Amino acid sequence: QDQSERVTEDGSGVCPRHVGIACLFISPTNISFTRKQNNYSIAPRLKMGYEGKVRGRRKAPFPRSILDRKYFLEALDEAGISLKQVHIDAFYQALHREHYPSLPEFVKKYYENERNVVVENEKPLRQKITKRKNRNKLNLPKKLLQFLETTNDLVTKTSKIKERHTSMDKSTTKLIIELYDGMVVESVLMRYERKGDGRASLCVSSQVGCAMGCTFCATGTMGLSGNLTTGEILEQLIHADGILADEFVLREDKSKRVDFVRSIVFMGMGEPLDNYSNVVGAARSMMDRSRWNMAHGRVTISTVGLVSQIRKLTKELPEVSLALSLHAPNQGARTAIVPTAARYPIEELIDALDGHMMAYLDRRPGDKGYTGEQRIKESSRRRAMIEYVMRKYI
């Protein structure tokens, strides 16, 4: 339909776009589709109720999460503490090895490691303990340990698990995470066990609510209440790893590898690329070799199709995988159920996705025209996921 039309009192028409947010929402139960020469339009049966709600920005948490490296460095600078990069990396590695206890507890365990104190029923570690008498990988500066023990400005976690629901076959656990301000987001822990082996994946949220307004999505009805910080995104992974670590201690068969989350999908609440900087910061931490050390292809970012952000991601972090929420076979049908599609034609979307898939080849000198054989070879290494909701009349 003509995007210059406005929403009338009876709900007909489409309102103009404002600040990059589509302004049309119809409850899934109130949609009917008419088809005429492959052109789809919305025929509302009831009054439209969504107007691109953005409820305002969330305030930054206090105390802040030490997982946000930027805030950690700022706090050190305010305290007059100057550290080498190697010591900052060593701290994060040590914190990760100890499964993210409170900062005073971390300092206590650090000194226990120096004395080579053995802990019974120790939780699994990603990195092997060195054979040195001192179990710490690297001695941390005393001034840093004193700061961690006394600071009131930083904590390890700002969120907590409010509820957890596990399926009857124990393969899936849904986590309701309560944030510092009382808002909640959801994560889903998925276990895939095989005889003598297995793995675990985690679906994480990136926003409280969502501004995209997709008509089939429950989160789309909420509007956007705010972005998650890098720390809040990573805390979802910490909570999930903690559950798996506890299960590992109690498990008799410790040969199975369902001990850590080994892959991440940004497919929870929110549009990840609408919270670009925090999502990219979290993804970098997940792939950090001194921390979670996830394989590049094991971190997948889902998007409804923000073309400019996809291209930016390709330049800054081509290692991650992409998942595209397509949901319709053509532009008209897609615009009817994904309001943001009005700004991003499918042709541009596929071109951006293709550019991300071929990013590594693009870095090579020479002609950028690729043969079919080159594309097949590259697609065997890098794959994109296409998300599709099957709906009647679409």
Give the pLDDT confidence of 333-360 residue by residue, as tens digits: 888 888 888 999 999 998 999 888 888 7
Mark out the alpha helices in the chain (DSSP H runs). Answer: 69-78, 85-97, 103-114, 142-150, 230-250, 276-287, 307-316, 331-337, 346-357, 359-362, 372-381
CA distance 292 to 195: 24
What mean pLDDT do residues 216-233 have? 90
pLDDT, residue 217, reads 86
Dihedrals φ, ψ of 295, to 5°?
-60, 145
Residue pLDDT, tens place only, 2-35? 333 333 333 333 222 222 222 222 233 333 333 3
Q: What is the pLDDT of residue 312?
A: 96
What are the φ/ψ torsions at residue 281 (nearest 5 degrees)? Answer: -60, -40
Q: What is the pLDDT of residue 329?
A: 83
Contact present, 195 and 201 (Cβ < 8 Å)? no
> Does residue 179 contact residue 159 with C-beta atoms inside 8 Å?
yes
DSSP-assigned letters across all residues of 220-254: GGTEEEEEPPHHHHHHHHHHHHHHHHHHHHH-S-T
391 confidence band (pLDDT: 50, 70, 90) = confident
- The whole-number average pLDDT for the span 362-372 is 63
With cut-offs at 50, 70 and 90, classify the pLDDT of residue 130: very low
What pLDDT score does 49 carry? Answer: 31
Are 296 and 306 contacting, i.e. CB atoms less than 8 angstroms apart? no
pLDDT at 47 over 60: no
Average pLDDT, the chain: 78
For residue 185, pLDDT over 60 is answered with: yes
DSSP three-state, residue 381: helix
Sign of the C-alpha dihedral computed for residues 361, 362, 365 and 366 taken in this order: positive
For 78-122, the pLDDT digits (tens) are 999 999 999 999 999 899 888 899 999 999 988 887 665 555 545
Sign for the CA dihedral angle at 156, 158, 162, 167 comes to negative
163, β-bridge pairs: 176
At residue 330, does pLDDT exceed 80?
A: yes
Mean pLDDT of 61-66: 89
pLDDT at 56 over 80: no
Whether pLDDT at 142 is above 80:
yes
